[in-house]
Structures are given as C-alpha cells and as structure tokens.
Structure 1
C-alpha cells in the first residue's frame, strides 16, 4: 500500500501558503493540511502558523493558530539531537528509508529582484546555486523519477520576492513501519524516553 504526499508551497512578498496532501488506498483516503499563513510575529520574537485540516472532501476544520518562540524552537532542536543520540546508526536507518522514497514531480519557479541590477544578478546566482544543491541532495538520497523543472525570473526594475514549489513523493507504508521497527530495535536507553518524545511530537504536530 502506497502513501502519496504532495507538497505545495507558495511565497509572494509577505504572503505564504503551504498545502500538504496525503493520499492512500488509491486516493480513496485523502487528508489535507493547509497552512495559509507563515509569518514572523512583530510584537514578540517568534514564528506564527495558522493552519487548517480536511479529511477527504469534508469541510475544513476551524483555523488553528500556533506560535513558536525562539526558546521552543531551540528546545525542539535539542530534543531531536537527543533522540538521534539514543538510536544506534540512525543515519543508516534514515538513508535506507529515504532510498525507498520516489520523487515523481518537482517544480520550483522563482521571481526575484532587488531593484538594483547588480544585486539582482547576485541574488539570481545564489538562487540557482541553492536550487541545484537541493536537486543534488534529492537525487542522492531519494529516487528522482522525473526531470526537475526549475526557473528563476529576474526583476531588475523593482523589488520582488516570489517563489512556488510543487513536490510529489510516494513510498510504501510498509517501509515506514520497517524504519520505525528498526528505531525501536536499536534504541539504547530507557524506552519511556522514546514514548515521551513520540507523545510530545504527536501533541505538537498538525
């Protein structure tokens, strides 16, 4: 049984939107997460997410607002680091799972400009370097079964910052379960810590 995940991200000036669509059972089960707003809170340091959820073709759930301040973000990184230290050869487990993930669509278009020709040229060069680097990583760790469609349109007359990413991946759920079993098998230390970590991540997830 395959799980297909489609990630749609769009950034236009100060407006961001991210849509993640999960499909399985030949598309009969469809779960959508919509994050229509991602921004930095100006009143106090932190990142604010406003997200909605929808199962199959039912109406969307009420919008939920979640804010992460720098302390929470740093704490999440530390928890992830501690988790990695407790699993023997975690990088091997992850690489084996990622090798089973197929990328069937990858499109990334960008419109960028600073209003200055020289600075715009530098930004375009950095953009191409970033995009080729991401594609190289994807092709190294996953099965890239499609030709990436990449484009950058420079804007020399005015300041513009727009980008749109469409990515579609799929893998068999059995491989994800196998990776989870391997993590349990090679976990060193108290199993209660693992349960506590998973529980916290589930409570904080979308």
Structure 2
C-alpha cells in the first residue's frame, strides 16, 4: 500500500510531462474534401483520430453538413455520423466564444503563454488555383501568398517553429482549378495545457456555475 501511495506523485509528474502530438491534415480537390485530426501520446501507443471525409454546403436548406468518424488505435471505430450546422447555430457558437473570452481576465496572456510552449515540427500548405482567366488567377494567387505568409508569420510569432514551412501555389491559367493540401504537426506537454486550464478557472470573473454550464454545453455539442 505504501508503495502505491509513493508511486502516485511519480505517476502524476510523468503524466504532467507527457507530450501530446496533434497532426492536422486537410485536403480539398474540387468537390472532394477530407479533414483528419490525429492525437498521439506515449510515443504513438495511444492514438485517437477524428476523420471528416465530407464538408459541404446544403443548398436545399442553408447550412453546412459535416460527416465525421472517430477511431481509437486498435480499440474501436465509430460509424460515420453526419451533423448539420445551420447559420443560426454557427452564429450562436461565435457569440458563446465571445462571451467566454469576456469572462476570463487577461485571456490573451494565458493563451500566449500556453502557445509559447507549443512546438510546430511540420507545416506544409500546397495549393493549385485557377479560374481560367489570367488576370483573375494572378490576383487570387497574390491573395493566397499573403494568407500563407501571414499564417507562417503568426505561427512563428506565437509558437516555437522547429521547421521551415513548405508553402507553394501553382497557378492554372487555362482552366478553373481549386486544390489544396494542408498538414500541420504540433507538440505540447499535458502539464502546460492543464496549467492554462487552471489559470482560466482562476481568472474567471462572474458566476462559476455559468462557466460550468458553458463547458457542459460545449461538450454536449462536440463530436
């Protein structure tokens, strides 16, 4: 019994120091979309994947339809689920996120401190764009380069960028083309995420019951 009690602090420290690896993969090719988010821990022994093979706009009833599937490595795999989000639900989510941010004192400081402990080991964003018109394609390509360099600058400013970003845009002047592939791999320790969460609770202003209600709503609405 004493050995078990003595092991608890060691296991807690091990858990706090454990690294999480999250890989975000998104690919769009004309009307075919796929998004995959993979979380790994314990050197890949624990792996959880959310696959979103379909993201499209419903023309009959305004809204966004998302199909998703959850997989735990060598344990289980859920069936394909389809969820539809209408404009009212999307706007409501933004309002709740804004309300949450207003209730936490110095939230931007807490987020910046956490992001400073996040390492980016892979950043790849390749695109092929074209409208069939040379002038329009040139303008869109210019906007695309601005977005990509802007994202790389933000990541290097707030996170630890451990790799050289691979960014490319291939213009198509002869035909309309819309293709892109985005891969980003980040790492952080569970302890840093827990500290950020505790700081949010500490600097929450107002009724703590409202905070609990907000978190429960977000959990129920998640995948």
Q: TM-score range by the shorter chain?
A: over 0.9
Instruction: Determine which structure has more spread, i.e. the larger CA radius of gyration.
Output: 2
1:154 and 2:171 are equivalent in the alignment = yes
1:193 and 2:220 are equivalent in the alignment = no
String of CA shifts for 1:66-118, please: whole Å, max 9, x gaps: 11111101111111111111111011000100111000000110000000111
How much has 1:57 moved relative to structure 2? 2.8
1:51 and 2:68 are equivalent in the alignment = yes
CA distance in 2, matches of 1:35, 1:192: 33
Match of 1:140 among 142, 151, 157: 157
**RMSD of the alignment, in Å?**
0.8
Match of 1:87 among 98, 104, 116: 104
Match of 2:114 among 97, 120, 126: 97
1:170 and 2:213 are equivalent in the alignment = no
String of CA shifts for 1:21-48, please: whole Å, max 9, x gaps: 0000111100000000001111111111
Counterparts in 2 of 1:100-115, with a 5 A limit?
100-115=117-132
1:20 and 2:37 are equivalent in the alignment = yes
Alignment coverage as a number of residue pairs: 206
Quote the residue 2:50 is aligned against: 33
CA distance in 2, matches of 1:81, 1:59: 35
How much has 1:59 moved relative to structure 2? 5.0
TM-score with structure 1 length normalisation?
0.98
CA distance in 2, matches of 1:58, 1:153: 41
Runs ≥4 in structure 1, deviation > 4 angstroms? none
Task: Give unpaired runs (5+ residues) of structure 2.
Answer: 1-17
TM-score with structure 2 length normalisation?
0.91
* Higher helix residue share: 2
CA distance in 1, matches of 2:92, 2:134: 41
Match of 1:120 among 137, 140, 153: 137
